Amino acid sequence: MCGIVGYIGDKDACEVLVEGLKRLEYRGYDSAGVALLMDSRIKVLKTPGKVSKLEKMLGDSHSAKIGIGHTRWATHGEPNTVNAHPHTDCTGNIAIIHNGIIENYSALKTKLLSLGHTFKSQTDTEVLAHLIEEFYSRTKNLEMAVRLALKDVDGTFGLVVMSSNEPDILVAARRGSPLVIGLGESENLIASDASALIRHTRNVIYMHDNEIAVITRDNVSLKNLDDEAVERDAEHLTFDIEQIEKGGFAHFMLKEINEQPETVLNAFRGRLMDDEGISNMGGLRDVEDKVTNARRFVILACGTSWHAALVGKYILEQYAKIPVEVDYASEFRYRNPVLMDGDIVWAISQSGETLDTLAALREARVKGVPVYGIVNVVGSTIARETDAGVYIHAGPEIGVASTKAFTSQLAVLNLINLLVARKRKTMTAEQGREIVAEMHRLPEKIQQILDNTVQIEAIAEEFKESRNFLYLGRGVNFPVALEGALKLKEISYIHAEGYPAAEMKHGPIALIDENMPAVFIALRDSTYDKILSNIQEVRARKGNVIVIANEADGRLRDLAEHIIEIPETLEILSPILSVIPLQLLSYYMAVKRGCNVDQPRNLAKSVTVE
Ligand code: AGP
């Protein structure tokens, strides 16, 4: 997720662009750049780091009436000047900014290289600049060149293109990534969301998928990618900037919980091979044999990422038949761990900057074993210090309590499981195809849960004064119980513990009385019958039971007052669904207790101290 903005009019485009980019920094903040039309030529200025650094670079020596700007959240190519946007074609006459992922960029790049194009960056976006150049050389028409180029593109885009050959227009196009046009007096703007243009106008047109717009200072024309004109009325914006940044949600955490259908889709995007029933991850291509023939996986992580690692252990041992050890990164190096030939160490981290995890992976490197990463922030220290890895593509996670990163980490761990199990022939192609098909269905199932939150909110209302909570699960959903407890602790400050449900009778059941709510994850899977008896044990001691279940049967209805139903899916994928009601429960509890949900006390989003 990046932030893009374009301006054409009489104001100083530099000022408008920089102010707009600052508003969009919550979408991505690892590098920024602008392209300005000055003296009939395109001038590109870009830098790693925040928009304020770009602003300094611009100083007051640049002024223009038309320009485009971008603040980046890297997906392909680490954050540096070369990979920052805008990108240009070979002539430098065409400049482009883009938000989204071009899935077939490497095939397009190979073709363009064979046609003599030269590339400067590792990004997927630069391919678009050269592809448009290719069509422009044939059509001499920028709008047509963009439209024809996009016909060859698989993936998502919100993009704006400008050219010194056609200095009075901006061309914008959208598929999958948001774009809104701001209609002004002798000026028009385009941006990822209205927060970047609301200071100039409240009259906007929202672009829909597969649409292209030609924007001049006095006019906007809209078409679809099949060159048919599109009529759309402008809307008048009433909401304020903060609301826009949170997408209309009250908190970034709730916004990020609701982004999960899209972020899980992004984690799978371009990585599923339906017919072969296997996954394909560019970041592991060079080490696939090593990963497939590994003797053991050792996974290092902290907090929520550690819970994801534990889910990974369950699914990799069950399907890929590879021994997996999961370590608290903070403990790993101080216990002088035994690592041997054939071991592979994985480091899981959303921020990629967690010092405990970084120190642990450095320890593993010293011991001479390969270290691979599963990371969200592109170009982060852990991403740079690992030998290979997979980005989870969850976009910026602003809320301190990790939510969408967790489900995307699980999505990637399932992709790795699919790859290793298929390559080790411990999973058949048929099994692989079944799992891939279900992966495609997950975003919609997540949306079903997000569309039914009334009951979860009511349960939060009933239990908001509780002092303690227990979370209980079995099998692959035991780590989800741990995650549910962590979410509640982090943002509502209620003491909560997660346990394997069968472990209760070995002690924790002593805590049970009418004041101790117990949340069970009781899905219709291989542990269902067992967990029903664990629920009975708690019920027998007057415990308050809340259950996350698939479509409840009579047995469960007799046992639990509060049943939150979620769609069914394959057992190994079920943690991606079962955690969502737990994220929401903790969110509503915290809101009802008046806690600062996005910035809870005593916590930081990225823990860069040991
Ligand atoms: C989770 O909600 C917390 N923010 C925290 O436990 C976090 O998961 C942990 O600090 C690890 O962070 P990382 O994934 O960025 O390495």
Segment holding 568, helix H or strand E: none
* Protein residue closest via CA to atom 6 of ligand 1: 303
Q: What is the pLDDT of residues 169-227, one digit of tens each?
A: 999 999 989 999 999 999 999 999 888 999 899 999 999 999 999 999 999 999 999 99
Atom of ligand 1 nearest to the CA of 357: 16
Per-residue pLDDT at 519:
98
- Ligand 1 centroid, distance to 346 Cα (angstroms): 16
Catalytic residue set:
2, 605
CB of 400 sitting under 6 A from ligand 1? yes
Q: What is the pLDDT of residues 238-248, one digit of tens each?
A: 877 666 678 88
Beta bridge partners of 215: 170, 220
Cα–Cα distance, 594 to 142 (Å, whole number): 53
Cα–Cα distance, 349 to 381 (Å, whole number): 10
Assigned token pair, 244: 């826009």
Cα–Cα distance, 452 to 548 (Å, whole number): 13
Q: What DSSP character marks residue 476?
A: G
Per-residue pLDDT at 443:
97
Task: Check pLDDT > 70 for residue 485.
Answer: yes
Average of per-residue pLDDT values in the chain: 94
CB of 414 sitting under 6 A from ligand 1? no
pTM for the whole structure: 0.83
Per-residue pLDDT at 60:
81
- Ligand 1 centroid, distance to 397 Cα (angstroms): 11
Per-residue pLDDT at 243:
64
Q: What single-letter amino acid sits at 35? A: A
Task: Check pLDDT > 70 for residue 322.
Answer: yes
- Ligand 1 centroid, distance to 402 Cα (angstroms): 6
Segment holding 192, helix H or strand E: none
Per-residue pLDDT at 379:
84
Least confident of 74-83, 87-96, 158-167: 74-83
At residue 513's C-alpha, the angle toward residues 544 and 401, to 5°, is 60
Q: What is the mean pLDDT of residues 115-121?
A: 95
- Ligand 1 centroid, distance to 358 Cα (angstroms): 13
CB of 305 sitting under 6 A from ligand 1? yes
Q: What DSSP character marks residue 539?
A: H
206 by Cβ neighbours in 10 Å (0-12 / 13-18 / 19+) ranks as middle
Per-residue pLDDT at 557:
86
Would you say 96 and 161 are in contact if contact means Cβ atoms under 8 Å apart? yes
- Spacing of C-alpha 600 from chain mean position: 21
Per-residue pLDDT at 246:
84
Task: Check pLDDT > 90 for residue 63.
Answer: no
Task: Check pLDDT > 90 for residue 74.
Answer: no
Question: Residue 411 — pLDDT band, cuts 50, 70, 90?
Answer: very high
Atom of ligand 1 nearest to the CA of 405: 14
Atom of ligand 1 nearest to the CA of 604: 4
Q: Which residue from 299, 305, 602 has its CB within 8 A of the most atoms of ligand 1, so it is best to mutate?
A: 305
CB of 350 sitting under 6 A from ligand 1? yes
Assigned token pair, 253: 């955490």
Q: What is the mean pLDDT of residues 266-292?
A: 94
CB of 401 sitting under 6 A from ligand 1? yes
Per-residue pLDDT at 601:
93
Would you say 46 and 74 are in contact if contact means Cβ atoms under 8 Å apart? no
Q: What is the pLDDT of residues 382-394, one digit of tens each?
A: 999 999 999 999 9
Q: Which residue from 307, 353, 356, 607 has its CB within 8 A of the most atoms of ligand 1, so it is best to mutate?
A: 607
- Ligand 1 centroid, distance to 319 Cα (angstroms): 27
Q: What is the mean pLDDT of residues 510-525?
A: 96
